[in-house]
Chains A and B, each alone.
Chain A
Amino acid sequence: MKYVDEYRAPELARKLLASIEARSTRPVRFMEFCGGHTHAIFRHGLRQMLPPTVQLRSGPGCPVCVTSDADIDRAIATATLPGVILTTFGDMIKVPGSDGSLQTAKAEGADVRIVYSTLDALQIARDNPENEVVFLGIGFETTAPTVAASILEASATEVDNFRVLSLHKLTPPATCALLDAGEVRLDGIIGPGHVTTIIGSAAWEFLPRDYGVPCAVAGFEPLDILEAVSALVEMSEAGEPAVVNSYTRGVHPEGNRTAQGVMARVFEVADAEWRGLGRVPASGLAIRQAYAPFDAALAFPVKTGPAREHPGCRCGDVLRGTAEPTDCPLFGRACTPVRPVGPCMVSAEGACAAWYQYGGILV
């Protein structure tokens, strides 16, 4: 496939690895913010191929994983309301809340449907005018504009039974929260490629400016990731932190202004609750007053009991980068992709799922 295969060239990857090894003289730890990167790194075995001086650590960049138990409980409670069809991306359906998941709610009779696109959810609303169709709005800046666009289309075409439960989150504030906590020393950040397609590489300038941390924005093929690691090693060695765009075919400094405009029209910045990070100021997206009729949180103000996380689950620590999945006593034993305890084992972007699937770990 064009724009994929050529970025997997093994010979060039070996050369890049040799260049990284030749330049890296002191131990460094870089965090790949994005769960998509974590999976690409594991799938292609990059961790093992990097020199021992370069350590990679997974970050909080998995929207499903950082959704709080309280928000999952709200989604499940909404799904069980009479007449509601709850539509969601597939990743979310197996994530356990305090008591069950959307999957168990579906098994008990709730109408929960997996969709590929928010536009599919909109079509379900058109096809079922007697029902209320709620789309579970999970995702970072990559996904939020697509959900905003569906709300604009619902508004323009007068689909009045379509609502969104917006749990969207913003990545730069979470990165700040992580660095402010100072629990884990980071020498560089591999910037999330597709988030940055939307927000632009300039959005990461605060990292070198305010934290002295270099950032290299990366695509998702092995050469993309190695190029970013190479740039981070170079900046670390030189002591000259900056933002480097290693994904120039997909990312511009200013980002996608149309998508930013659509997002700003529908959403306003609000505080948000993150698994692992807690309440992070100005890190979420709420639906603006002008589009309040599409806000599922207003239409269905469900009451849920206090949220309960599984006592042994260390997803929060994994998301903050303070623990590796294998540090969790449940990993691979009580918690597997078939019977996940925490969301990091469920999601296709979760660090635990990547370790389990590709880590070659015998448990």
Chain B
Amino acid sequence: MCLAIPALIRTIDGNSGLVEIGGIERTVSLALTPEAQVGDYVLLHTGFAINVLDAEEAHETLRLLSELAEFIAEETGTGLAVEGTQGTG
């Protein structure tokens, strides 16, 4: 029930926003995220945006994970490359 999915805000009209979720559009409430702007990704839960996703943090998480993986690979000698993780997020 705590399922929430990322949705891209296309337009805002007062407390409502038109969002896109994987190609599907839906009107949602922005009552809990008054700071949301067009172009933001929000976490969508039961018709409400419950938070604005932080693009910088998203990118940083992937960067840190790649670094950690690389460090561990060196430390443990697993030696696997980490291609495919760059440029995402």
Contact = CB atoms under 8 A, between A and B. Distances in A.
A118 B84 contact: no
Given A91-B1, A139-B1, A146 B47 contact: yes
Interface string A1-27: 111111101011011101100100000
Given A2-B41, A194-B4, A11 B80 contact: yes
A140 interface: yes
Contacts of A120: 47
Q: Is the interface of B mostly helix, strand, loop or mixed?
A: mixed
B9 to A, nearest CB: 13
Contacts of A140: 1-2
Chain A binding surface SS class: helix
A187 to B, nearest CB: 21
A256 B69 contact: no
B48 A146 contact: yes
A6 B62 contact: yes
Chain A CB within 10 Å, residue with most, of B1, B21, B84? B1
Given A15-B73, A256-B51, A248 B60 contact: yes
Interface in B43-72: 43, 45-48, 50-51, 53-55, 57-58, 60-62, 65-66, 68-70, 72
A249 B1 contact: no
Contacts of A262: 31-32
Nearest to A260: B32
B32 A16 contact: no
Interface in A148-205: 149, 152-153, 192-195, 197-198
Interface string B1-37: 1111110100000000000011000000101111000
Contact of A6 (B51, B82, B89): B89
B40 to A, nearest CB: 11
Contacts of B82: 11-12, 15
A4 B57 CA distance: 14
A291 to B, nearest CB: 16
A348 B82 CA distance: 34
Interface residues of A, number: 63
Contacts of A145: 32, 48, 50
A284 B52 CA distance: 27
Contact of A197 (B21, B43, B68, B84): B43
A75 interface: no
A149 B78 contact: no
22 contacts: A1-B6, A3-B6, A6-B88, A7-B62, A11-B85, A15-B65, A15-B69, A16-B65, A18-B80, A19-B69, A19-B72, A22-B75, A62-B1, A63-B1, A117-B47, A139-B2, A142-B1, A145-B48, A192-B2, A227-B65, A248-B61, A250-B4
Given A146-B29, A251-B51, 13 more contacts: A11-B84, A15-B65, A15-B80, A22-B75, A116-B46, A142-B2, A145-B50, A193-B2, A197-B4, A197-B43, A198-B51, A248-B57, A252-B54
Interface of A: 1-7, 9, 11-12, 14-16, 18-19, 22, 34-36, 61-64, 89, 91, 116-120, 138-140, 142-143, 145-146, 149, 152-153, 192-195, 197-198, 220, 223, 227, 230, 246, 248-252, 256, 258-259, 262, 347-349
